[in-house]
């Protein structure tokens, strides 16, 4: 989670207000960081989660483009003539719909999928 997202959840004014909240946790190595200022990402290191025996909950919100591409191609191959809404629901509703749309448009431009129809009637299938 970014510093800005964390500020919003804790109802703080800015990223500088996080120091009292996270300073000691970083010192104890319970929270790790990447980046700086507003772009700083805070996360719990995997070794802490392992020691606590916490069951991890995975999410596809920040899926890498090559993985999203593979998911979409596999879905379109299994379910030809699918609308974006159905594809989006099957591969993961936590992935932003705009990201799925961009990838489908990219795959159509690369001629890896055929897109027929316009707007809400647009359907996708694997290109021959």
Domain borders along the chain are: 3-52, 65-126
| pLDDT tier at 51, thresholds 50, 70, 90 | confident
pLDDT tens string 90-107: 998 899 999 999 999 999
Measured CA to CA, the distance from residue 18 to residue 12 in angstroms comes to 8
Its pTM surpasses 0.85? no
Rounded Cα–Cα distance for residues 64 and 125 (Å):
22
Please give the CATH topology (third level) of the domain spanning 65-126: Arc Repressor Mutant, subunit A (1.10.10)
């Amino acid at each position: 989670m970014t510093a800005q997202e964390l500020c919003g959840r804790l109802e703080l004014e800015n990223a500088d207000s996080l120091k009292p909240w996270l300073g000691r946790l970083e010192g104890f190595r319970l929270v790790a960081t990447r980046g700086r200022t507003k772009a700083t990402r805070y996360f719990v290191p995997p070794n802490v989660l392992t020691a606590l025996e916490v069951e991890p909950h995975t999410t596809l919100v920040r899926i890498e483009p090559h993985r999203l591409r593979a998911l979409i191609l596999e879905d379109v191959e299994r379910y030809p003539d699918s609308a974006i809404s159905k594809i989006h629901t099957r591969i993961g509703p936590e992935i932003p719909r705009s990201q799925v749309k961009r990838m489908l448009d990219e795959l159509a431009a690369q001629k890896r999928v055929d897109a027929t129809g316009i707007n809400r009637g647009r359907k996708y299938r694997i290109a021959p």
